[in-house]
């Protein structure tokens, strides 16, 4: 699954390219926007939420404003209460990743923050990304 993300003027740093912290924001945006669009993540009222417990990114080519980024997402591991997402960031129309990384969500009860089994409707959507 791919999502287009537009860079913003404020994404560039003093070196003239997108600052490294923005890449993590794109990872989060690509995954969570997909889950919201699929109707399986309610960020305001959902009983179950995903907390990030691990992140990593490798950078291969700079990205900069103005540029469109294509974020490809997949599920590399689907556990009972956690999921490892892998994300590749490509310059629009490019064949090679500018950056790749992963992050792990542990799904927890919103109130107690204790791990819970991934709800079946969410798991069904995640399975399409494996």
pLDDT of residue 96: 95
pLDDT range class, residue 42, cuts 50, 70, 90 = very high
Counting the structural domains of the chain, the total is: 1
pLDDT range class, residue 101, cuts 50, 70, 90 = very high
Contact 3, 68 (CB under 8 A): no
Spatial distance between the Cα atoms of 100 and 23, rounded to a whole number of angstroms: 9
Contact 115, 107 (CB under 8 A): yes
CATH code for the domain in which residue 112 is found: 3.10.129.10
Percent of the chain with pLDDT over 90: 98
pLDDT digits (tens, 9 = 90+) for 56-95: 999 999 999 999 999 999 999 999 999 999 999 999 999 9
Residue 54's domain spans which residues? 2-127
Structure tokens at 103: 């992050």
Which H or E element spans position 123? helix 120-127
Spatial distance between the Cα atoms of 109 and 47, rounded to a whole number of angstroms: 6
Contact 59, 99 (CB under 8 A): yes
Longest dimension (CA), the chain: 45
Spatial distance between the Cα atoms of 2 and 5, rounded to a whole number of angstroms: 10
pLDDT range class, residue 36, cuts 50, 70, 90 = very high
pLDDT of residue 109: 97
pTM metric for this prediction = 0.91
pLDDT of residue 19: 96
Percent of the chain with pLDDT over 70: 100
């Amino acid at each position: 699954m791919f999502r287009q993300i537009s860079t913003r003027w404020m994404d560039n740093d003093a070196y003239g390219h997108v600052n490294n912290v923005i890449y993590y924001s794109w990872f989060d945006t690509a995954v969570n926007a997909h889950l919201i669009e699929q109707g399986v993540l309610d960020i305001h009222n959902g009983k179950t939420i995903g907390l990030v417990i691990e992140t990593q990114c490798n950078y291969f080519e700079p990205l900069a404003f103005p540029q469109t980024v294509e974020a490809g997402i997949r599920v590399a591991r689907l556990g009972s209460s956690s999921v490892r997402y892998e994300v590749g960031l490509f310059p629009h129309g490019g064949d090679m990743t500018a950056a790749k990384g992963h992050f792990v969500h542990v799904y927890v009860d919103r109130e107690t923050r204790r791990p819970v089994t991934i709800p079946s409707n969410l798991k069904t959507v995640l399975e399409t990304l494996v």
